[in-house]
């Protein structure tokens, strides 16, 4: 059984370069048996292209099953060329709606709507099935299930050639009884093509319209043993970029589930052998267009962590890799900079591993080191079968420590236009059916193009990061307490606190990721206003007098003034943090100037409330000229005690949830590390 998607839009066809990747034609699904018979689900505008293909083939038995008679699901039928060919054997199947199905189909060809009357067509059988009953068409078993949609709709479950495919048609998940019935109907399917018309953010405004948000499906399907979910029937207003962002968000939210989540795409082919599904490499056919869109999206990113996260995610999507790591060149070593592993640490569980402090020498003994030294791409089908003649070998220590099993590995160096090595990316275990396969030549080519284009983004983000660190080193020349390690810790802690808060509040993944990048950089600049504080106060070894304290407090307002003419989002957030990070939840904080009013509670900007917690915690556990470092337990006790007075109590709870990540950050950026 081979499935091909010819239409993926809902409501109405759209034509736009911003909607070309996932397609603009309305619903049409082709299912073809190995013996040649063809089953077509729905006759949206996508059926026109299928008709062109069928017209050039030897005719075979064909059945068209209509889920319901809303216009977007039948609008292509009148222009389906094989319908007019006497050599084609075509049968139409549908349910009453409530008038007889045959009467509805013939009505499409009424001269009021279409110039060619039904009676002039070659004879076509029209079969009306009973909702909820199964029937056989073209040698395939077709089961049906009513769904929750105004006017009625049928879901189809098709079984043939040893595996099962389910198409939900249009369905709104709000009705518990009908949704439970549909989910049970889908249970155990090899792949489910489901209604993903809305995003959760726009679903509430359209309740009762008969469609679901992508977020409604993964948990329910996973519980019922479905391993592969593909979203379709996209709203005509949703662009390719918006759909991809939504998918990223859904994948991140449900990364802990054992289910594959994808977007339907016109031309997508789904095949299976022995009940295992394979999407093949159809997604690579549009890789160049996707890469162009991808680099447009990240072109404005300044945070190196955000850039590396985006690049690694895109590379893993292109190659279907289960895991990946990026190393950057630092002090003539390869420094472990970013990682992702769906098997070991799904979702945000990976965050603490991002801060692992690990280095590799740039030599030919390791796989990454060899790629760095030689500039060669290494595609290793099995890391345990590397020829003894090769200078490099696989280090099994990580696998032994975690129980993970690395098999295939693709390693690519980042080299800029001047031949300078920036880093190395390793992709691990290309997922295939229920196992792992080597990375294919097409995957290697796509990943190579990604790396080649990514070099500019990595280089630019590195320069932006270095610029901020230079600015902070200027501050540290005057204030020995404002070390590079301190500001890196505050930036990283703030970013991770925001990440968990955003997950709690179901912030869309793309917004979460970009805001997290801004947060990291802006929080590092929280005390930049101290450059304006006199040395006698700034470097005083001891407690400040009330008068001196008043002068010191002006650093908040002075820091904000540095970003008064902010033109980019990082500067805007840096201004907010500099000005407000000493505000208190109970309104008793300070801004350092009567020009700026005192705020309390949620009137204090979120980014400032977050940075306040990170800054105080790090100050408490760090050595200062006037005090020894506190224990982490004592510092945490202060946060708990001052939750609801100094600090936002919800954000203190968030901090407690990610203590393991906070500890990893403190280890990664310990004092003495620049």
ω into 268 cis (within 30 of 0): no
Q: Residue 264: what are its φ and ψ, rounded to 5°?
A: -65, 150
Compute the distance between CA of residue 471 and CA of residue 47 in angstroms, rounded to an integer. Answer: 60
Task: List CB contacts of 654: < 8 A, sequence separation 6 or more.
Answer: 497, 500, 501, 504
What pLDDT does residue 273 have? 45
Q: At what angle do helices 509-524 and 569-580 cross, to 10 degrees?
A: 60
Residue 567: per-residue pLDDT: 63
Task: Please provide residue 155's backbone torsions phi and psi, each rounded to the nearest 5 degrees.
Answer: -90, 150
Domains 2-279 and 479-668 belong to one CATH topology: no
Residue whose C-alpha is closest to residue 650's, from 599, 619, 606, 590: 606
CA distance linking residue 158 with residue 166, whole number of Å: 6
The pLDDT of residue 275: 35
Tell me what pLDDT residue 278 has. Answer: 45
Please state the separation of Cα 276 from the chain's center in Å. Answer: 25
Q: What CA–CA distance (Å, rounded) separates 505 from 651? A: 12
Tokens read off for 425: 């990316």
Q: How far apart are CA 360 and CA 664, in angstroms?
A: 19
Other CB atoms closer than 10 Å to residue 588's CB: what's the count? 11
- List the strands of the sheet with 2-7, edge to edge: 125-128, 90-94, 62-65, 38-41, 28-32, 2-7, 269-273, 276-278
Mark 525-543 as b/e (b = at least 16 C-beta within 10 Å). bbbbbbbbbeeebbeeeee
Domain boundaries, given as residue ranges, for the chain: 2-279, 286-458, 479-668
Q: What is the pTM of this model?
A: 0.57
Structure tokens at 324: 């990946």
Q: Which fold has domain 479-668?
A: Hypothetical protein af1432 (1.10.3210)
The predicted structure's pLDDT at residue 277:
41
Whether the Cβ atoms of residue 224 and residue 183 lie closer than 8 Å to each other:
yes
Mean per-residue pLDDT pooled into runs of 10, the chain (674 residues) = 92 88 93 88 96 87 96 96 94 92 92 89 94 93 95 94 91 88 94 94 91 95 92 94 87 85 88 47 52 56 71 84 86 79 59 68 93 93 94 89 89 83 90 80 86 75 67 59 77 93 82 84 87 82 87 91 76 91 95 92 96 95 80 95 96 94 87 57
Say how far apart CA 479 and CA 339 lie, in whole Å.
34
In this structure, are residues 286 and 410 in contact, taking their beta carbons and an 8 Å threshold? no
Orientation angle between helical segments 509-524 and 304-319, nearest 10 degrees: 150
What residues contact 317, with CB distance under 8 A and at least 6 apart? 283
- Residue 449 burial (CB < 10 Å; 0-12/13-18/19+)? middle
The CATH T-level fold of domain 286-458 is Beta-Lactamase (3.30.450)
Residues 445-489: tens digit of each pLDDT: 888 888 887 777 777 766 766 666 666 666 555 555 556 688 889
CATH hierarchy code of domain 2-279: 3.60.15.10
What is the tens place of the pLDDT at every residue in 66-98?
Answer: 999 999 999 999 999 999 999 999 999 999 988
């Amino acid at each position: 059984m081979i499935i091909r998607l010819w239409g993926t839009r809902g409501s109405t066809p759209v034509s736009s370069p911003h909607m070309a990747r996932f397609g603009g034609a309305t619903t049409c699904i082709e299912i073809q048996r190995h013996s040649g018979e063809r089953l077509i689900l729905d006759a949206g505008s996508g059926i026109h292209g299928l008709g062109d293909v069928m017209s050039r083939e030897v005719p075979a038995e064909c059945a068209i099953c209509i889920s319901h008679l809303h216009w977007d699901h039948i609008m292509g039928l009148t222009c389906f060329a094989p319908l007019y060919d006497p050599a084609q054997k075509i049968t139409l199947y549908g349910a009453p709606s409530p008038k007889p199905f045959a009467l509805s189909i013939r009505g499409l060809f009424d001269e009021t709507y279409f110039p060619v009357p039904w009676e002039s067509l070659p004879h076509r059988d029209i079969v009306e099935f009973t909702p909820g009953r199964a029937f056989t068409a073209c040698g395939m078993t077709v089961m049906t299930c009513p769904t929750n949609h105004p006017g009625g709709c049928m879901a189809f479950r098709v079984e043939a050639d040893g595996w099962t495919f389910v198409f939900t048609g249009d369905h709104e998940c709000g009705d518990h009884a009908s949704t439970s019935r549909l989910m049970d109907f889908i249970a155990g399917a090899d792949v489910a093509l489901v209604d993903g018309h809305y995003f959760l953010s726009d679903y509430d405004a359209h309740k009762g319209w008969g469609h679901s948000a992508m977020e409604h499906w993964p948990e329910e399907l996973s519980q019922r043993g479905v391993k592969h979910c593909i979203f379709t029937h996209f709203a005509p207003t949703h662009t390719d970029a918006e759909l991809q962002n939504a998918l990223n968000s859904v994948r991140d939210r449900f990364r802990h589930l054992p289910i594959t989540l994808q977007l339907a795409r016109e031309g997508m082919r789904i095949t299976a052998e022995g009940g295992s599904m394979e999407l093949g490499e159809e997604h690579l056919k549009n890789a160049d267009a996707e890469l162009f869109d991808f680099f447009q999206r990240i072109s404005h990113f300044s945070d190196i962590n955000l850039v590396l996260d985006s690049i690694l995610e895109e590379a893993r999507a292109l190659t279907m890799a289960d895991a990946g790591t990026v190393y950057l060149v630092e002090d003539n070593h390869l420094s472990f900079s970013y990682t992702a592993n769906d098997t070991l640490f799904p979702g945000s569980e990976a965050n603490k591993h991002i801060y692992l402090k690990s280095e590799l020498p740039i030599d030919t003994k390791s796989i990454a080191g060899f790629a760095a030294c030689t500039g060669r791409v290494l595609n290793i089908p099995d890391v345990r079968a590397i020829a003894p003649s090769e200078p490099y070998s696989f280090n099994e220590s990580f696998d032994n420590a975690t129980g993970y099993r690395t098999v295939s590995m693709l390693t690519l160096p980042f080299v800029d236009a001047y031949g300078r090595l920036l880093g190395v990316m390793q992709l691990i275990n290309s997922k295939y059916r229920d196992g792992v396969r080597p990375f294919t030549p097409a995957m290697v080519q796509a990943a190579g193009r990604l790396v080649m284009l990514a070099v500019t983004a990595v280089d630019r983000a590195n320069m932006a990061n270095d610029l901020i660190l230079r600015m902070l080193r200027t501050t540290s020349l005057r204030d020995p307490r404002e070390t590079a390690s301190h500001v890196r810790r505050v930036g990283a802690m703030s970013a991770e606190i925001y990440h968990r808060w955003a997950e709690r509040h179901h912030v869309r993944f793309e917004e979460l990721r970009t805001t997290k990048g801004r947060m990291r950089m802006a929080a590092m600049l929280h005390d930049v206003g101290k450059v304006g504080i006199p040395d006698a106060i700034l470097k005083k070894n001891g407690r400040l007098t009330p008068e001196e304290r008043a002068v010191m407090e002006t650093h908040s307002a002075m820091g904000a003034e540095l970003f008064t003419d902010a033109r980019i989002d990082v500067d805007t957030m840096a201004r907010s943090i500099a000005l407000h990070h000493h505000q208190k939840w109970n309104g008793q904080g300070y801004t350092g100037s009567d020009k700026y009013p005192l705020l309390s509670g949620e009137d204090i900007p979120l980014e400032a409330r977050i940075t306040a917690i990170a800054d105080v915690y790090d100050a408490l556990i760090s050595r200062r000229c006037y005090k020894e470092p506190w224990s982490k337990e004592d510092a945490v006790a202060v946060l708990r005690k001052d939750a609801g007075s100094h600090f936002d109590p919800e954000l203190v709870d968030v901090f407690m949830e990610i203590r393991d990540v906070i500890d990893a950050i403190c280890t990664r950026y310990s004092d003495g590390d620049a």
